[in-house]
Amino acid sequence: MIVAVDGPTASGKGTIAKALAAHFGLPHLDTGLLYRAVGRQCALNGGNPDDPFDALTACAFPDSLVADPELRSEASGGLASRVSVHPEVRQALFRRQRQFATQPGGAVLDGRDIGTVIAPEAEVKLFVIASVEARAQRRFAEMREGGRDVSLDAIAADLAARDERDRSRKEAPLVAAPDAFLLDTSELDREAAIAKAIALVEGRVGKTAR
């Protein structure tokens, strides 16, 4: 069984995808980390993430970079959004994601184009959304808890800018697959969002043993 979980930044898709993988006993891949690694490597190379050549060159990042905590930063998230607009980058990372999705037994992948590009044949597709305000509040709380001095308004503006880039790019824009379940987490806490997601998956494929 392949489960595709798509949605914008800070919508809760990563948390939901991890929980689904644990519940159904499936491997999980956060595809956004691959793009964050490209963005981070581009910065380490002194390159310009808006330049297709520099971004493509950064696709040769070492596997160890995926474990770098810096990839979870807002800066890396912004870089990821910028390098992901390049078709060359998306093609370079397509094979890695596709191999993970089609492994024996299935997998859970979260990102922005899993249900539309990476695994359009997925048995279950979720498109997780939340208002910019709700997402900004979550990210603000996370960063303040981590000791970062951040501005709520700046986070909201950054999220809105990323949304616009992701939705308007020509290659694999952020859009729900026609057969995806829409899950709005704006008013849901972590436990409620996970419970709703599990119910949606089970409703589509039937109850599956852990």
pLDDT in tens, 77-91: 889 989 988 999 999
Rounded CA gap, 129 and 101, in Å?
22
Q: How far apart are the first and last CA of the chain?
A: 13
Mean residue pLDDT of the chain comes to: 92
pTM for this prediction: 0.85
Q: What φ, ψ does residue 59 adopt, rounded to 5°?
A: -65, -15
20 pLDDT exceeds 80?
Answer: yes
pLDDT digits (tens, 9 = 90+) for 155-196: 999 999 989 988 888 878 889 999 999 999 999 999 999 999
Domain ranges of the chain: 2-202
* Beta carbons within 10 angstroms of residue 85's beta carbon: 20
pLDDT above 70 as % of the chain: 98
pLDDT, position 208: 44
The CATH class of 2-202 is alpha beta
